Amino acid sequence: MEKFKTYQLAMDFYKYAIKLRLTNPLRDQYQRSLLSVVLNLAEGSGKLTINDRRRFYAISLGSMREVQTILTIANASQLILKADIVAAHLYRLCQRCQ
């Protein structure tokens, strides 16, 4: 996983972004979505077929969009730019799996 740049970016973002303090119900959904990004990247990277990888990478991108929306609702501008970078990498990863 060390050479998987998108995964590394997502993991770094996770470690930084998980510290954001939110109130319920946003907090629980944010934490699940944030974790889903890295877990689906990890699981997808272990799949043998391109279709399986694409499915998990697309789920990861969907979770990242959810994170971005919560950050926008919470007005967490310091994290939005970092989230946008991870989302762009995820989008390109999904495009490469076409």
Task: Spell out the long-range contacts of 8-14 with Cβ–Cβ below 8 A and sequence spacing 24 or more.
Answer: 9/85, 9/86, 9/89, 10/37, 10/38, 10/41, 10/60, 10/64, 10/86, 10/89, 10/90, 11/38, 13/37, 13/82, 13/83, 13/85, 13/86, 14/38
Which DSSP string do the residues of 59-75 spell out, in sequence order? HHHHHHHHHHHHHHHTT
Report the chain's mean pLDDT, rounded to a whole number.
Answer: 93
d(CA 49, CA 61): 19
Q: In the CATH scheme, what is the code of domain 5-96?
A: 1.20.1440.60
Per residue in 30-57, pLDDT (tens digit) is 999 999 999 999 999 999 999 999 999 9
pLDDT average, residue stretch 8-19: 95
What is the pLDDT confidence band of residue 1, given thresholds at 50, 70 and 90? low
